[in-house]
Structure 1
Amino acid sequence: MSDTYIIGAGIIKFGRHPDRTPFQLAAEASLLALDDAGLMIRDIDAIYAGSTFNSASMVAQRMLHLIGQTGAACVNVSNACAAGATAVRQAVLAVKSGEYDIVLAVGAEKNPKGLMGGPLAEGPPPEGLFGSHAPPSIFAEAGIVHAARYGTTIEQFAQVTVKNHHHGTLNPKAAYQLETPMEDVLASEMISWPLTKLMCSPNVDGAAAVIVVSEKKARELGLSRAVRIRGSALVSDPYEPRSPDMFDPNSVTRLAVGKAYAMAGLGPEDLDLVELHDCFATAELLHYENLGLCADGEAGRLIDSGDTELGGRIPVNVSGGLLAKGHPIGATGVANIVEIVEHLRGEAGARQVAGAKIGLAHVLGFAGVAACGVHILEKAG
């Protein structure tokens, strides 16, 4: 099967959009991606739309109602926080199959307010039986396991927020663009120890889109701004000998990235930048190790070293990450890919990673059982 390329990318400013529908958000991001590629909606063969809270509303079709009903095949996918990455993955497979030459993948979400998650739909409620099913508690527990095993400190977890909020000041599409010193992070409201409010990603609305094309079409349209998709992996949770309600974010990420590295013929040493799923500050440190950016137990020392900051050895979440950019669930996976595309093109402005040629986008979603998507992208040529 031939390679696939991204030739168009678009993202709207994340934040609250109370007067707009998710279909309007999806339409804006899609038009930005189409304009970026120099294409029209009539050029698109198929559309894959990722959303979680809005997925039952036929996002792809209702978006087309706003920008042009062309008869393109429309598929709507829901996969928790991995919904957007799933849409991109399906676009890649659709193009690789040979059935389509030009496919649009879009992620869009209008997040509800308040704490995500809640009791399971079936069986006894996990609260009080298995700890907590709420996302902050799950990632707090995972962080504490790491701290107990390797001596990671709350200050090292908090430094993730300091770093990502600084990066966010350089990103005009981020919901929050303000410096946040360590003392403010530690002094903010405690949500689930050791996670304070500023160590939790904010719920926002947003949308992002990419245009995926075949190698033949990419060459026809020009490779000067094209980005090659070297690896694309999507997996679910492997079995773990523990309660499914004591979620482990590590094994599913390691499974996905292993497949993506194998497909790309690359390893973590080849990466120039990473956009990973920092839904909580603890998660970023865990994923340093899960993605192979450092050895197990070394994540705290990696954040202390400054290597994951802009200008460091392996910059992570220079978009501001979910902690500053915000986390519109179904859009996040596409947004992470758009960020990598902008850097590989040299179009990321003040936050540009110099000389970036290869980047990795990671996203993790869970609802009892996890889904994880990883994409490895390379500057064309």
Structure 2
Amino acid sequence: MRDVAVIGTGLIPFGKYPDKTLADLGWPAVKMAVKDADIAPAKIEAAYCGTALGGMMAGQRILGRVGLTGIPIVNVENACSSSSSALRQAVMAIRSGEYDVVLVIGVEKLTKFGGGTLPLEKEDWEVSQGLVMPALYAMRAQRYMHEYDLTPAQLALVSVKNRRNGALNPDAQMRKPVTVEEVLASRPIADPFTLLQCCPTGDGAAALILCEAKLARQYRSDPVRIAASDLTSGKYTPGFRDMTIPEITVRGAKEAYEEAGLGPQEIDVAEVHDAFSIAELLYYEAFGFCERGSAGAFIESGASAIDGKIAVNPSGGLLAKGHPIGATGAAQAVEIVRQLRGECGARQVPDAKVGLSHATGGGISGFDHGVCCIHIFTR
């Protein structure tokens, strides 16, 4: 199969845009990606648009605004992994030889719901009993704290680190640094989580232009190669499951590392799915960044800071950058590509050569998560 590279990125600042439509959010990110790639729009052969709650024909609605129509447009829904799954589809289309240049879009407008937790399917029996996402992750946190003596202060450090990073990111929704004391004193949500340990909802859009690797240098001198693109679904487990192990991410990480021919020790920067503070800690272990049960000590040591052993969520992650769910996967990829190009200013990870993005989607009874999508990028 052919190699694939990213030649263009676009991202609008995440936030709340109640007066804008989904298309209003999406087309500026597309325009930025086209400009960044220095490519004629007519060269784009197909588009894949990821959105979870954006309604029908999201890609057509967005691309109609910029006159990029008459090409194959595929709309992808895969919960919080929607746009990373769209990215995966685009990668496979270029690898197979079907297309040479493809556009990927991630977009979501959550302000239309007026706040609160994400709307899940009421036909699911756990959801109908009130197991919304904050409650589910709170159960994971409680079990991990019990098993491994994780302290509330260590748990709060995830929010402190990511809010510090978000303050350096002009595209982040939350840009005010916080202290451990402020995190722990914020409004209780689901024990042990307080408000500042839960990602904010909002609106956003991101876009990438992918190209067959041999052609990529026709457009820019520093294309970023996609070394692995892995998508897997959860395994249905109706009985007991260990909530301290995100099995789907452990399995997906192993597959992605094998595809890229790399290991965790070679990852310089990672954007992982920190929807709640405990999630980032679990993913340190799932990706092999630290040993099982040592995630609290790992973050406390500064190992996951921008200048640490491996920079995790330098964008601010979902906790600070925000989580407009359908846009998240594409936005994570944009951050990694820009990091590998050295374009991230005050939050730039020193000499980053290999990066990883990771998005999961959950909210189904019997599953650890429903889907997990992981990409590894190299320069």
Classify the secondary structure of the residue corresponding to 1:14: coil
Please tell me whether the aligned partners of residues 58 and 75 of structure 2 are also in contact (alpha carbons under 8 angstroms): yes
Match of 2:204 in 1: 206
Whole-angstrom CA distance in 1 between matches of 2:65 and 2:243: 40
**Alpha carbons 1:109, 1:329 under 8 Å: kept:** yes
Q: Distance in 2 between matches of 1:294 and 1:334?
A: 26
Q: 1:226 and 1:341 mapped to 2: Cα distance?
A: 9
For residues 194-216 of structure 1, give each alpha carbon's deviation from its aligned partner in whole angstroms, at most 9, with x where no partner exists.
01000000001000011111122
> What residue number does 2:217 align with?
219
1:231 corresponds to 2:254: no
Unaligned runs of 5+ in 1: none
Change beyond 3 A, Cα 1:127–1:162 = same
Against the structure 1 CA distance between its residues 269 and 367, is the aligned structure 2 distance closer, same or farther, given a 3 Å change threshold?
same
* Residues in 1 aligned to 2:124 and 2:165: alpha-carbon distance in whole angstroms: 42
TM-score under structure 2 length normalisation:
0.95
Give the alignment's TM-score, normalised by structure 1. Answer: 0.94
2:179 paired residue number:
181
Whole-angstrom distance in 2 between the partners of 1:218 and 1:309: 32
Structure 1's consecutive aligned runs of 4 or more residues displaced over 2 angstroms after TM superposition are 112-128, 219-222, 239-244, 246-249
Structure 2 segments unaligned to the other structure (5+ residues): none
Question: What is the Cα deviation at residue 258 of structure 1?
Answer: 1.1
1:286 matched to 2:285: no
Shift in alpha-carbon separation, 1:271–1:367, aligned structure 2, 3 A: same
Q: Does 1:77 align with 2:73?
A: no
2:298 maps to 302
- Aligned partner of 1:322 in structure 2 is 318
1:88-133 CA deviation, whole Å, 9 max, x = no partner?
A: 00000011110100000010000133233456432645565xxx42
Which whole-Å CA distance do the structure 2 matches of 1:123 and 1:22 have between them? 27
Letter in 2 for 1:146: Y
- What are the Cα deviations for residues 325-350 of structure 1, in whole angstroms up to 9, with x where unaligned? 11000000011111011110011111
Describe the superposition over 1:128-164 as per-residue Cα deviations: whole angstroms up to 9, x where unpaired: 5xxx421011111111111111111111110100000
1:1-381 matches, cutoff 5 A = 1-54=1-54, 56-111=55-110, 112-117=113-118, 120-122=121-123, 124=125, 126=127, 132-222=130-220, 224-240=221-237, 242=239, 250-368=246-364, 369=367, 370-379=370-379
Letter in 2 for 1:287: Y
**C-alpha displacement of 1:299:** 0.3
Between the aligned partners of 1:196 and 1:345, the Cα distance in structure 2 is: 36
Aligned length: 373
2:375 is paired with a residue whose SS is strand
Aligned CA distance change for structure 1 residues 346 and 201 (closer, same or farther; 3 Å):
same
Q: Give distance in 2, aligned partners of 1:247 and 1:59.
A: 35
Name the SS for the 1:221 alignment partner: coil
Partner-residue secondary structure (3-state), 2:65: helix
Q: Percent identity?
A: 44
